[in-house]
A = this chain, B = another copy of it.
Amino acid sequence: MTAPNPQLDSHGRLCHLLTTEGLPASILQAILDTAGSFLTVNAREVKKVPLLRGKSVFNLFFEPSTRTRTTFEIAAKRLSADVVNLTVATSSQTKGETLLDTVANLSAMHADMFVVRHSQSGAAHLIARHVGAGIHVINAGDGRHAHPTQALLDMYTIRHYKGDFRRLRVAIVGDILHSRVARSEIHALTTLGVPEVRVIAPRTLLPMQVERLGVSVWQDMARGLEDVDVVMMLRLQNERMNGALLPSAQEYFRAYGLTPEKLARARPDAIVMHPGPMNRGVEIDSAVADGRQSVILPQVTFGIAVRMAVMSILAGQVEP
């Protein structure tokens, strides 16, 4: 007997979104389907539906991220929720209160949903284990572990431009080692049936035994990009740029920056993705970032719809 999936309730319904790992393809597809209907809401004159009216959504950010917080805030507000932003660094945490005490307190205020960002892997899982029934947790990034809404919006983007996952060759390029985005993408891609996922990175930025995740490993970027349908670039964190793992940003760009020349090795209709914020001239050339194959801004648009979908499904307001 296996341990029950912490993201599913006893009826197999999604109650938390913590990671794409272990989520069945049917649930991933259901989220993408639901997101499609919210895309039209976001394009309307009045971008608002009452699905979460009277619900309290707490953006609980133990690590600052204006951009990610904003996407969840705008998604929740378009669902008519009451949103409270908490950046917990100048707050009780510094007063010595534990993470679980903070969450227990907010739960006692009749919270409905926590969107959690934390520098430690596993923080969202820990919180999900301790909240009461009826409170839903969304992982907005925990350490190097997972960033499932980013992966889901990436899947939405791929499905939007490429249709069937089962015929695709996808490359993920960059700092796989430190990237929660890469981990969540790999799990989602393999679950959705992508037959070939390649990771392209220098040895120093690859996790041990990454092949076990069902990917092939390439050090030579030009060869790794050969005939791929989708190029998913990763952000190189500033602190890596001149650290022990890498010689310099310039050398990194030469080997692993996505230039028009390297992109030419991919299929002519390949799309280029990036989770943002981009380091232009480090992991991606502006000619590519702003080029005709780039779908980086549509990713952002889809991201709002995907987050609205996840929130609505968790709140039981939409039958996935």
Interface, chain A (partner B; CB < 8 A): 42-48, 53-56, 58, 64-67, 70-71, 73-74, 77-78, 82, 84, 86-88, 90-92, 95-98, 101-102, 104-110, 238, 276-280, 297-301, 303-304
State the copy count for this chain: 3
Given contacts A47-B82, A64-B90, 17 further A-B contacts (CB under 8 A): A43-B110, A44-B54, A46-B53, A47-B56, A48-B53, A48-B54, A65-B91, A66-B87, A70-B106, A77-B84, A78-B82, A92-B277, A101-B280, A102-B277, A108-B298, A108-B301, A110-B304
Contacts of A78 in B (CB 8 A): 54, 56, 82
Q: Are A109 and B238 in contact (CB under 8 A)?
A: no
Whole-angstrom CA separation of A182 from B42 in the bound complex? 40
Contacts of A64 in B (CB 8 A): 90-91
Whole-angstrom CA separation of A53 from B288 in the bound complex? 37
B45, B91, B95, B300: the one contacting A54 at CB < 8 Å is B45
Q: Are A108 and B297 in contact (CB under 8 A)?
A: yes
Q: A74-B109, A109-B301 are in contact. Are A95 and B55 (CB under 8 A)?
A: no
Q: Are B66 and A97 in contact (CB under 8 A)?
A: no
CB distance from A114 to the nearest CB of B (A): 13
Q: Are A91 and B110 in contact (CB under 8 A)?
A: no
